[in-house]
Amino acid sequence: MTEQKPPKKNIFELLKELKDHRRGQGQRHSLQIVLTIIIMAIMSGAKSERAVTRFAKNNKNKLIELLRIKREEVPSRSVISGMIQNIDFKQLENLFYKWSIQFISIEKGEWISLDGKAIKGTVVNANDKMQDFVSLVTVFVSKKKQILSVGKINIKKENELPTVRQLIEMLDLQNVTFTLDALHCQAKTVKTIIDTQNDYIIGVKENQKNLLKQIKKTVKAQKY
């Protein structure tokens, strides 16, 4: 008798699991509804709070019907803005992974790349060494060209290295190959990958001078 898999949950259902830290008094829309509208707006090309609000207003009747909004109105810009600014990204990140892993089948030997990119609109003091910005570390399934998960870093307060290690542990994958740039050529990161029973391909630059020297020497010795 084959084991029956549990039914897949859509993103709307999973959003119920997020904890709403707002006071109950005065709430006109649930966190689940507001976030769903934000996600739909972004998927439709919205890139700002103003654009998300415009999407909600332009599709008001359809959203009320589709999401069964009891109040005959969609969230205002202030509600949308407050939700974006105060949402617990770590919870949202875990929920996204819980949703995406239902649809992405990871095969043995799959290559998984992890790479951090700054969000342009968050950069402060761009020409200063003390610049601040928010970076997203993306977990990308190379063969399928699909994003599996993301991690957020405030570069002034956090470091990309531990975030990547936490992501690798959270993914709970085995027998895959993680690819990372030279920033992550660190003993702790390599140990995390090995401990989770995976392989790695990591770039090496001048930040690991002795290792780079040894690699060049080995490659030179292999030439015929």
CA 106 to chain CA centroid, Å, is 17
Q: In angstroms, rounded to a whole number, what is the distance separating the alpha carbons of residues 198 and 142?
A: 16
**Model confidence at 123: pLDDT above 70:** no
Worst-scoring range by mean pLDDT, 79-83, 125-129, 188-192, 217-221?
A: 125-129
Query: pLDDT for 128-166, tens place per residue?
Result: 555 566 778 889 998 888 888 888 877 666 778 888 999
Average per-residue pLDDT for the chain: 85
The two counts, helices (H) then strands (E), for the chain are 9, 5
What pLDDT is attached to residue 125? 60
Q: What is the pTM of this model?
A: 0.72
pLDDT of the residue at 212: 86
Q: What's the rounded Cα separation, in Å, for the pair 28 and 172?
A: 38
Please name each of the domains of the chain with its CATH number. Answer: 11-87 (no CATH), 103-222 (3.30.420)
pLDDT band at 28 (very low <50, low <70, confident <90, very high): confident
Q: What integer pLDDT is reported at residue 34 of this predicted model?
A: 93
pLDDT tens-digit readout, 188-219: 999 999 999 999 999 988 888 888 888 888 88
Q: Is 72 exposed, middle or buried (0-12, 13-18, 19+ CB in 10 A)?
A: exposed
pLDDT digits (tens, 9 = 90+) for 86-116: 888 888 888 888 888 888 888 899 999 998 8
> Can you give the pLDDT at residue 1?
46
pLDDT, position 142: 85
Q: Between 50 and 128, name the one with better pLDDT.
A: 50
